[in-house]
């Protein structure tokens, strides 16, 4: 009887697992394999194609537009990651303290994460295009008297603001989860030793929430490197291709620009870059956790 029950359980697990694995293979693994194959061709997205070997990969390193998109994407990812995590940690510290309406405030701060990125992008597009310029003219500011999105020097800052505004919610929740794992005994012992304010945070709180800090840093860098929806809603890569992210360039030129094979090679390189950066982050933060 026991063997029959074990066999029934295994059969049930297989019946559950096989469809999921099949779907994952069809919609994730198979397109990835096909993308790698197309990266060695001159495929335009339609019609016939020829094998070109490593030519696409060689051309990537001499294409100024690709280089500009990488520079912009990394600049945005670094700025947005720093801004998001600094503000998220400050909010988490405040929302984890003994204040009134704490639960209601946590729910309110999480609302931006519920909204779709495109919806948020179009709302901010209206704000940067119509509302902010009016305010800028009222205070006599030439910088904000016109739309930030039409300024090659300021458009990327507007995108950073939108990306951070929406990402802060999830990062704050993760930091709050980390802060709630810190035992009160630690703070009581620290208070006896005179640890207050900044010293309390630096020597007691932060070392104990480093695992949560690591999670937020890895997720932030990965998500901001893959920024797409905000670009689509705010600037579409403009003005003058100054806000063209790697993901947007791959989509725009690959799908409608007749560079499917070339941009497939770009996607492969971009995938490797993200994996390498994530592994480096996890390795560095992992060593710090071991030292504590």
- H helix count then E strand count, the chain: 15, 0
Rounded CA gap, 50 and 215, in Å?
43
Signed CA dihedral, 22, 28, 31, 35: sign only: negative
Residue 292, pLDDT score? 59
Rounded CA gap, 41 and 16, in Å?
38
Residue 129 has pLDDT above 60, yes or no: yes
Residue 6 has pLDDT above 80, yes or no: no
C-alpha distances in Å from residue 48, one per residue of 38, 54, 56, 250? 12, 19, 17, 20
- Residue 40 near residue 53 (C-beta atoms within 8 A): yes
Please give the mean pLDDT across all residues of the chain. 87
Structure tokens at 2: 């026991």
- Residue 103 near residue 113 (C-beta atoms within 8 A): no
Rounded CA gap, 152 and 125, in Å?
15
**Domains delineated in the chain:** 61-291 (1.10.3720.10)
Residue 190, pLDDT score? 72
- Its pTM surpasses 0.85: yes
pLDDT tens for each residue of 197-225: 777 788 788 888 888 998 999 999 999 99
Question: Average of pLDDT values for 147-164?
Answer: 93
């Amino acid at each position: 009887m026991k063997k029959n029950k074990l066999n029934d359980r295994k059969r049930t697990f297989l019946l559950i697992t096989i469809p999921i694995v099949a779907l994952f293979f069809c919609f994730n693994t198979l397109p990835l394999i096909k993308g790698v194959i197309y990266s060695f061709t001159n495929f335009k997205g339609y019609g016939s194609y020829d094998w070109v070997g490593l030519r696409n990969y060689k051309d990537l390193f001499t294409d100024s537009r690709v280089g500009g998109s990488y520079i912009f994407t990394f600049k945005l990812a670094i700025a947005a990651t720093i801004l998001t995590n600094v503000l998220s940690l400050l909010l988490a510290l405040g929302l984890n303290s003994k204040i009134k309406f704490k639960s209601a405030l946590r729910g309110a701060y999480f609302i931006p994460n519920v909204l779709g990125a495109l919806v948020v992008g179009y709302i901010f597009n209206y704000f940067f295009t119509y509302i902010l310029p009016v305010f800028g003219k009222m205070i006599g500011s030439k910088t904000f008297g016109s739309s930030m999105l039409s300024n090659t020097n300021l458009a990327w800052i507007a995108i950073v603001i939108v990306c951070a505004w929406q990402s802060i919610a999830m990062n704050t929740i993760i930091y709050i989860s980390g802060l709630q794992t810190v035992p009160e005994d630690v703070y009581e012992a620290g208070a006896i030793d005179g640890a207050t304010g900044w010293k309390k945070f630096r020597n007691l709180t932060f070392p104990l929430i480093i695992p949560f800090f690591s999670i937020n840093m890895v997720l932030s860098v990965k998500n901001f490197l893959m920024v797409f929806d905000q670009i689509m809603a705010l600037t579409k890569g403009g003005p003058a291709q100054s806000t063209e992210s790697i993901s947007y360039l791959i989509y725009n030129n690959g799908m409608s620009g007749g560079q499917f094979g070339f941009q497939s090679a770009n996607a492969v390189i971009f995938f490797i870059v993200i994996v390498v950066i994530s592994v480096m982050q996890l390795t560095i933060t992992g060593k710090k956790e071991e030292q504590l």
